[in-house]
Chain A
Amino acid sequence: KNQVEQSPQSLIILEGKNCTLQCNYTVSPFSNLRWYKQDTGRGPVSLTIMTFSENTKSNRRYTATLDADTKQSSLHITASQLSDSASYICVVRSLWGKLQFGAGTQVVVTP
Chain B
Amino acid sequence: DAGVIQSPRHEVTEMGQEVTLRCKPISGHNSLFWYRQTMMRGLELLIYFNNNVPIDDSGMPEDRFSAKMPNASFSTLKIQPSEPRDSAVYFCASSLGGLTGAGELFFGEGSRLTVL
Contacts and interface: CB of A to CB of B under 8 A. Distances in A.
Interface size class of B (residues with CB under 8 A): 10 to 19
A97 B42 contact: no
Interface stretch (A43-51, A65-73, A75-83): A43-51
Interface string A38-62: 0001111110010100000000000
B99 A98 contact: yes
A97 B104 contact: no
A43 B108 contact: yes
Interface in B31-45: 42-45
Nearest to A42: B109
B42 A101 contact: yes
Nearest to A45: B107
B88 to A, nearest CB: 14
Contact of A43 (B100, B104, B107): B107
Interface string B72-116: 000000000000000000010100001111101101111000000
Q: Is the interface of A mostly helix, strand, loop or mixed?
A: strand
Nearest to B56: A98
A97 B95 CA distance: 13
Nearest to A46: B104
Given A43-B91, A89-B43, A31 B4 contact: no
A51 B101 CA distance: 12
Interface residues of A, number: 24
Given A43-B91, A43-B93, A43-B107, A49 B102 contact: yes
A49 B93 contact: no
Contacts of B108: 43
Nearest to B108: A43
A109 interface: no
Given A89-B43, A101-B42, A102-B42, A44 B102 contact: no
A97 B43 contact: no
Contacts of A85: none
Interface of B: 4, 42-45, 91, 93, 98-102, 104-105, 107-110
7 contacts: A44-B107, A46-B104, A51-B102, A97-B99, A98-B99, A99-B45, A101-B43
